[in-house]
Amino acid sequence: MTIPTKEECLKILEKENVPSNIITHLKAVHDFSMKVCDVLEKRGIKINRNLAAAGALLHDIRKTSPNDHIIEGYELVKSLGFPEVAEVIKKHGLMHIDKDEFVPKTLEEKIIFYADKRVKGDKVVGLNERFEYIKQRYGRDNTEKELEFTKKIEKELLGDERVG
């Protein structure tokens, strides 16, 4: 398994001309996901922190694409020789949550999915605030199913602990 380091991820983002506001978001998702990893590791749960870190830093690498940024990001990162990181990217979004191949299943996939839903821009916010933003920003009326799905992952990862 080949996973890029944090420094390599940042170089990839720079090479791909990812805008600075998106890089700021990616770094915030990275930092939050590492806090989630800390909680899980304190409970004795083994996490591939390097995979989670790379997935967090690269999940929106194609965010500015006029097409599907999830599939484009997945394909780009896979073509760079990081198929495991590409799988994490494939499973970070809400758009395809009704298709099994896009549902996060591993702990690392769930951590990045969840961390991305807790970070609005570069600020950690509650799920309700983040989903309200998603509704407004992307013109989505019905996000209740996705919010419930995300709360289920939050409960699975953190139990009653709060990370913020």
**Which residues does residue 36 pair with via DSSP β-bridges, in sequence order?**
none
The SS3 of residue 72 is: helix
pLDDT recorded at residue 2: 93
> Which of 59, 81, 79 is closest to 70 using CA atoms?
59
What whole-number distance in Å separates Cα of residue 119 and Cα of residue 106?
A: 20
Number of H helices, E strands in the chain: 8, 2
126 phi and psi angles, rounded to 5 deg: -75, 160
What pLDDT band is residue 4 in, cutting at 50, 70 and 90? very high
What whole-number distance in Å separates Cα of residue 38 and Cα of residue 17?
A: 31
**pLDDT higher than threshold 90 for residue 136:** no
∠ CA 28-1-82, nearest 5°, is 55
CB atoms within 10 A of CB 95: 14
Q: List pLDDT tens digits, range 113-124.
A: 999 999 999 999
Pairing status of strand 119-120 against strand 123-124: antiparallel
**pLDDT higher than threshold 80 for residue 140:** no
> Which of 44, 48, 45, 39 is closest to 84 using CA atoms?
48
The architecture that CATH gives domain 6-158 is Orthogonal Bundle (1.10)
Domain boundaries of the chain, sorted by first residue: 6-158
* Cβ-based neighbours of 21, under 8 Å, separated by 6 or more: 121
What token pair was written down for 41? 């590791």
**pTM of the predicted model as reported, rounded to 2 decimal places:** 0.95
Give the single-character DSSP code of 124: E
Q: Which residue has the higher pLDDT, 142 or 51?
A: 51
CB atoms within 10 A of CB 113: 25
Give the helix, strand, coil percentages of the chain, each rounded to 5. Answer: 65, 0, 35
Q: List pLDDT tens digits, range 90-113.
A: 999 988 889 999 999 999 999 999
